[in-house]
Structure 1
């Protein structure tokens, strides 16, 4: 297994770690940043989430730079992204930091896209992420990070950046999903 794929797998292994900090009901105090109070466990969980999300850029960088792009990587990378995003969304809904309908829209799109990827894989095809799909992932990571950090540092200036970001991410999720189905409708038609 090459280095980019190992980095991708490390992203999957970081998910339970950030979930423990973010969801386990223990208090290790609060952190005060520019007028925002964040539970320290949430702050640590958010940092782990951000590190895990950054590995998405890192594995892609190494895969392209050293020509280590593999079919396994094309499959694992978006799967790791979906697992990370899904876990974070569910955690945010659990803590009532995110409306459930937004999580449902985003997760539903991810399941639908994964379904098409599986149908394509059964035929020996691997579908790489599009540029719009990558932008969608970045917007989701930014929005989720802002929500996990309780809108820091924007809370100090009463700007609801976290909610603006999650609405933008939801919009891009829907648009990229439509694009994905349009570009890959031949896979569904072929499988009939």
Structure 2
């Protein structure tokens, strides 16, 4: 297994650690940061989430730079993204910090595109991430990070940055899902 794929697997392995800090009340209290009151465990979860999300860029950069792009990486990388985002949004819904309707839209798209990729793989085709899929992932990561940090960056200005990012993430999620299906409709028509 090459280094980019090992980095991707490290992202998957960070997910349970992230979830523990997000969901378990350790009783560590909270602290004020730029006007926002953040539970220490949520701050730690946010840092783990951000590090895990950054490995998405790192593994892709390393794979392209050193010509280590593999079909396994093309499959594992989007899967790791989906697992990380799913864990974050499901955890945030459970904490009543993320709207359930947005989580359903986002997760439905993720399952649909994963299904499309599985059908394509049955005929030996690999559907790599599109530019819209990458922007979708970035918007979801920014939305989740803003929520995990209790909107700390814009709390002083009273700008609901986290709410704006939720809507941007939902819009990009829907658009990128439609884009995948339009560009790869042959996968479904040829599989009948």
Q: TM-score range by the shorter chain?
A: over 0.9
Unaligned 5+ segments in structure 1 are none
Structure 2 partner of 1:37: 37
Structure 1 partner of 2:98: 98
Structure 2 partner of 1:173: 173
In the TM superposition, structure 1's runs of 4+ consecutive aligned residues that sit over 6 Å from their partners are: none
Partner Cα distance (2:96, 2:62) in 1 = 37
CA RMSD of aligned residues (A): 0.6
Report the alpha carbon displacement of residue 25 of structure 1 after superposing the two structures with TM. Answer: 2.3
Kept in 1, the 8 Å contact 2:25–2:41? The answer is: no
Partner Cα distance (2:27, 2:126) in 1 = 44
Partner Cα distance (1:159, 1:18) in 2 = 27
Structure 2 partner of 1:149: 149
Q: Where do 1:82-93 residues align within 5 Å?
A: 82-93=82-93
Cα deviation 1:70-120 (Å, max 9, x = unaligned): 000000000000000001000010000011000000000000000000111
Partner Cα distance (1:124, 1:83) in 2 = 24
Structure 2 partner of 1:138: 138
Q: How many residues align?
A: 192
Report the alpha carbon displacement of residue 67 of structure 1 after superposing the two structures with TM. Answer: 0.1
The TM-score normalised by the length of structure 1 is 0.99
Structure 2 partner of 1:59: 59
The alignment partner of 2:156 has SS state of helix
Q: Where do 1:109-148 residues align within 5 Å?
A: 109-148=109-148
Report the alpha carbon displacement of residue 29 of structure 1 after superposing the two structures with TM. Answer: 1.7
Structure 2 partner of 1:48: 48
